[in-house]
Amino acid sequence: MTAKKATKQYVYFYGFGKKHTEGGAGDKAIIGGKGANLAEMALADLPVPPGFTVSTEACAYYSKNGQKYPPNMQAQLKQKLGKLEKKKKKKLGDPRDPLLVSVRSGAAVSMPGMMDTVLNLGLNDKSIHGFMKQIGNERAGWDCYRRFIDMFGSVVMGPTTGLEHEHFEHELDRLKKKYGAAEDTDLTANQMKEVVEAYKKVYAKKVKKPFPQDPFQQLDLSIRAVFGSWTSPRAEKYRQINKITGLLGTAVNICTMVFGNLGDDSGTGVAFTRDGSTGDFEPMGEYLINAQGEDVVAGIRTPKNLQDMPKEKDPIWKKAYKDLNVIMKRLEMHYKYPQDVEFTVERGKLWMLQTRNAKRVGLAGVRWAVEMATAKDVVTGKSQPKVLTPKEALMTLQGSDLEQLLFPIFDAASEKKAKVFGTGLPAGPGAAVGHIVFTAADAEAMVKKDPKAKVLLVRHETSPEDVGGMWAAQGILTSTGGMTSHAAVVARGWGKCCICGAGGMRIDYRNKTVSNGKKTLKEGDWLSLNGSTGVAYEGQLPTQSSPVVAAIVSGNKTAAKHPYYKMYKQISDWSDQFRKINVRTNSDTPADSKAGRAFGAEGIGLCRTEHMFFEGDRIWAIREFILADNKNGREKALAKLLPYQRKDFEGIFAAMKGLPVTIRLLDPPLHEFVPHGASDQEEMANRLEIPKEFVASRVQQLHEFNPMLGHRGCRLSITYPELCVMQTRAIIEAAINVEKRRKTKVIPEIMVPLIGTKAELDYLATIIRQTADAIIKAKKSKLKYLVGTMIEIPRAALTADEVAESADFFSFGTNDLTQMAFGYSRDDIGTFLPDYLNEKILPHDPFQSIDVSGVGQLVEMGVRKGRDSKPGLKCGICGEHGGDPASVKFCAKVGLDYVSCSPYRVPIARLAAAQAAIKG
């Protein structure tokens, strides 16, 4: 005989203490965050109105099975409702003493605004009279009924009928005007009854049915509305924006009503255990007397500051304030995080309706973490309760929280009033203000003429040739390109504000204008960019700089005393204490290297030599190399480049003071270094004293249909070995010079880019080692160096065991690896990525956060196979993913030795590495 299968539970009761409460804080996945926290507060014997929660599993079943409830759910619902009625000694819909409930949504992760609350469910034309008799307040009774009709109509029936809150508000305003009432609280009982009748007519007109009088039908329709809200466009958009995946659905919370609108001894409010804007230790919040929950946030009445509560005339408010503060402190200690609570005071008694981890800005989050673990206010120095350990404090943070401490920001009041010009991708956080220019040359010229000039470079896109102007500009705005486009990568490396992919903007280079809709700005006009949000504003907005950057990069001693810097340093120190993976920086100049080291980088993971070729006369030497038609001519041109490269490397080695420096040999295709316009080609011909026809012909020869898969990377040095020789010579001679002059150790790591076969690496590694060894011998040096490769072609990862035989290290170039694994152009993905995200074809931009199941598998395979062939092989990552917290945690998991990222992302990577180690 088979055992009877247990009935799956879909409805969970809470309230009346531990004996009757099912679930708790650990059950968020099943009963949602709101339900779990209500149960947890009930277990702690806090004043929580009792109720029950319909699980997220029920929602999942409903969504997948044609909007049908799972088996036994309705029976469980009736059983829990019966228990609630018995304990409260009231019945839903009872004309003499009705039980009224609220209905709310509550997923495992807080999603504000997914579905609004329905209050006072259970009222109808009969139960309203019993309710008014019980509360002894006829006006409050009609007020509750009209609120219920409004909320039920707009929240439950609105999505399918078009009935909105404004339809009801129109009638309320009409009757307030009719009776000369300034506020809804000024309406009498009979006048409020008239509002109810008007609301019922609004409902019937839109819904084509009378307002439902059966309370069980009211409850059923409300539960279905909550379940349906899970797949609403706004809920799906919220989850997409916040990268929330893997949830079953939303729970439904049915809670006994408590009333804040019964008179001057009743009210409702919202409070935070700490300030979510400044991080201040003191609680903050708002409340209203003689009101229900939605009034506080609806803007119908102006709420009062929480600190005014004990000053109210009625002494019950002083006690309510005291009780609230005791409970909030208790909740913060219990949840080990500042809480956002909702409360109602009903005739002097405080009831807690909700608690959840408080939303906050990054600055507040960092301050909370530091103060809760050090038990000391970073501003005043006063003692506080110790809530967290340093490990726990780090786990409360996100990389974006630290980021907000590093970049200049706009004055909040000014930004709120500013006129929005357009929006794009927030590619380089911070704020920038300047005059619009449309060419890199103009940007450089303006700043050269006046070093204090502030310009913003506005382009369709940028290229390596624009770096001078990009550096001169305060910020960069492009109409195309994504988060890993050239403009975005370079800007982040410099800590420079940047907005990319502002597709609504039309840039006219000829007339030097940029337009968005009917608004056109011309060269020289002021523009303000918020790189943290991707919003561009007309005009000149005031900014405030980051004291953290001033203290770290500039060595400003005053800034080092600022609370921001103290918080930053404490988080960074804790991160270094716990992390196991190293963090390097991507750097191409001595200045970048110093900044990266100041931010805590433990070496350079990627030095891109091509960026050095665009400064001053260097560009002419590389162009001479490109135009040379024989080896002798190429070597002559490269000889002019050699001292420049050597000097650059000396500056970088000196800045890193004994830390390893990975230098990538020339990678981009040669066409990026030559002019494509006729006038520029003529200038090149005159400068190099060659026919302009020859220049045009050579430029045409360099044209490729797909340059990113063309003659670039190791292929250049295989075709022109003399290029590899020159770069190796510059690296090794610079290292020897710095060791000799500065008496400091130098650790050069020479990296061959874009190999797909072991043979390619073998060919160039032989040249590198022969060249390096000959110089070291001639200089009588003991310099040690490494020769490795970038793993950025899928075939290299698949054959990593073979490649490792010839490599001293691997560095995974995940930008190109992602590009080739997916077959997506990282510069063109913006044309279809929004559709892929909207349709859930991709969970996120794979160029921002590593694709673990695909690209990640290639990385993991490359590490494993490489170390199988060469145990202890050093492996790192140098793509933009090295600064993405989720990607850093993946890198730590698969055993990489280090990640490398832009200088201003180093603190974020250090934090993510520590979190990966703590999580284990």
Residue type, 282: E
Return the H-helix or E-strand segment holding 267: strand 267-272
Q: Going by C-beta distance under 8 Å and a sequence separation of 6 or more, which residues neighbour residue 27?
A: 12, 35, 36, 39
For residue 196, CA distances in Å to 144, 149, 183, 588, 749 come to: 9, 8, 16, 71, 78
Q: Say if strands 284-289 and 98-99 run parallel, antiparallel, or are unpaired.
A: unpaired
> Would residue 781 be called left, alpha or beta, if left means φ above 0 and alpha means ψ between -120 and 50 degrees?
beta
**Which distant-in-sequence residues (6+ apart) come within 8 Å of 90 by Cβ?**
97, 98, 99
> What are 121's strand-pairing partners?
101
Listed in sequence order, the residues at least 6 apart from 4 whose beta carbon sits closer than 8 Å to its beta carbon are none
Options 486, 562, 611, 881, the catalytic residue: 486
* Nearest-angstrom CA–CA distance, 734 and 721: 20
Evaluate the CA torsion angle 324, 326, 332, 338 in order and state its sign. Answer: positive
* CB 242 within 8 Å of CB 326: no
3-state helix vs strand vs coil in the chain, percent to 5: 50, 15, 35
- Nearest alpha carbon to residue 490 among 457, 513, 514, 467: 467
Residue type, 857: Q
How wide is the angle at C-alpha 176 spanned by C-alphas 175 and 177, nearest 5°?
90
Contact 64, 38 (CB under 8 A): no
Tell me if residue 878 is catalytic: yes
Which amino acid type is present at position 148?
Answer: F
SS3 569: helix
Residue 672 per-residue DSSP state: G
- DSSP secondary structure code for residue 708 in this structure: G
Q: HEC string of 743-765?
A: CCCCEEEEEECCCCCHHHHHHHH
What gap in Å lies between CA 334 and CA 332, rounded to an integer? 5
Contact 867, 873 (CB under 8 A): yes
Residue in the block written with tokens 């993976």: 581
Nearest residue to 407 (alpha-carbon basis) of 485, 469, 472, 492: 492
Tokens for 313?
Answer: 């005339």
Burial of 920 (0-12, 13-18, 19+ CB in 10 A): exposed
Burial class (CB in 10 A: 0-12, 13-18, 19+), 300: middle
Catalytic residue among 59, 144, 255, 878: 878
d(C-alpha 109, C-alpha 834), whole Å: 24
Residue 821 CB partners (closer than 8 Å, separation 6+) = 794, 851, 854, 855, 858
Angle between helices 618-627 and 678-688 (to 10 degrees): 90
CA-CA distance, 573 to 180, in Å (whole number)?
63
Q: How far apart are CA 717 and CA 29, in angstroms?
A: 55
Residue 714 is among the residues annotated as catalytic for this protein: no
Three-state SS at 827: coil
CA distance 128 to 822: 62
What does the block give as tokens for 525? 């006009």
Could you tell me if 877 and 900 are in contact, meaning their C-beta atoms sit under 8 angstroms apart? yes
Residue 431 contacts residue 403 (beta carbons within 8 Å): no
Do the Cβ atoms of 432 and 415 come closer than 8 Å?
no
**Known catalytic residues?**
486, 878
